[in-house]
Amino acid sequence: MKPPSELEKDNPGSVAWAHKYLPDMGVKPLRVNITHCPPATTGEGFDRYAWEGRKAKAVAARFCRGEDGTLQCRSNGIGYEDYGRMRTDQHEADLRSRIVPTWAFSKTKLQTVIALALERRANLWRNPRTDLPLQQRVELAQKQLLAQEPELTAQLAYFIGVYHHAKAHDLENVLLLAFLSTEIQNLDTRIRVLRRWSALLAAICWYAWNLKWSSNRIGAELELKPCHVRRTLLCLRKIARSQGYEE
């Protein structure tokens, strides 16, 4: 069996490892003030909720004693013939209920936010060219993004080859196939949006904040995933907040 010192090295996520080795690395562990509350008195508990004690079934019945002492059957009034005609619809919250940021109605501020988003996408946000006009900054960021296309295309071809090899040799590794499938979809999306990323940002802002479209409808219109649309809108809001723009 390994000594405790070696076990701590093998488990760098443990609390003992953090307190022992992080100070030597120049990192101080976070100190949290803990308030010890007195124990609650006996008998106090949580409030009863509306559906406490009910069964989570669409069709259910139970027998109980009535006021006259006779045995009665009580149900929620739903039968199996009713349940067969039911269905469940899942949908996201409509963007109409969300507040449109005020800076989205300013042409100058919106162009600035889109230019900063492009620079972050092209890894130019550390040294932004604030001395250049917005149009030149957008063109420079777009040129930097297009330079990534050969490398991304090579990565996509590699992952596709590995995926077909795994399928041809009947490798029943579900986790590997799921990982390769996700990477292929992500790379394919990145390559498709490289040439039109600036136009996509402007279109997402217009559809979401001017036409009040939902992310599902925007994704179908622009050939993007709904989660990608929502993530893009969140990033734009964060960039605007970093510039001091009011929501």
Which residues does residue 63 pair with via DSSP β-bridges, in sequence order? 73
Q: Write down the pTM of the prediction.
A: 0.56
Residue 109: burial class (beta carbons within 10 Å; 0-12, 13-18, 19+): middle
Amino acid at site 56 = A
What kind and span of H or E run contains 224? none
Report the run of H or E that residue 72 belongs to, with start and end: strand 71-75
Q: Where are the domains of the chain?
A: 103-242
Q: 59-88: per-residue pLDDT in tens?
A: 777 778 878 888 888 777 788 888 778 777
Nearest to 219, CA basis, from 236, 235, 200, 234: 200
What local confidence, expressed as pLDDT, does residue 204 receive? 92
Distance in angstroms (rounded) separating the CA atoms of residues 113 and 201: 10
Residues of the chain with pLDDT under 70: 1-34, 40-56, 89-98, 170-173
Give the angle subtended at the CA of 192 by the CAs of 187 and 195, to the nearest 5°.
125
Report the DSSP beta bridge partners of residue 75: 61
Q: What are 75-83's contacts with CB under 8 Å, separation 24+?
A: 83/58, 83/59
Backbone torsions φ then ψ of 103, nearest 5 degrees: -70, -15
Residue holding tokens 């992310």? Answer: 215
d(C-alpha 65, C-alpha 67), whole Å: 7
At residue 120, the 3 state secondary structure works out as helix
Contacting residues for 157 by C-beta, under 8 A, at least 6 apart:
none
What does R_g of the chain's alpha carbons equal in angstroms? Answer: 28
3-state secondary structure of 62: strand
CA terminus-to-terminus distance, the chain? 59
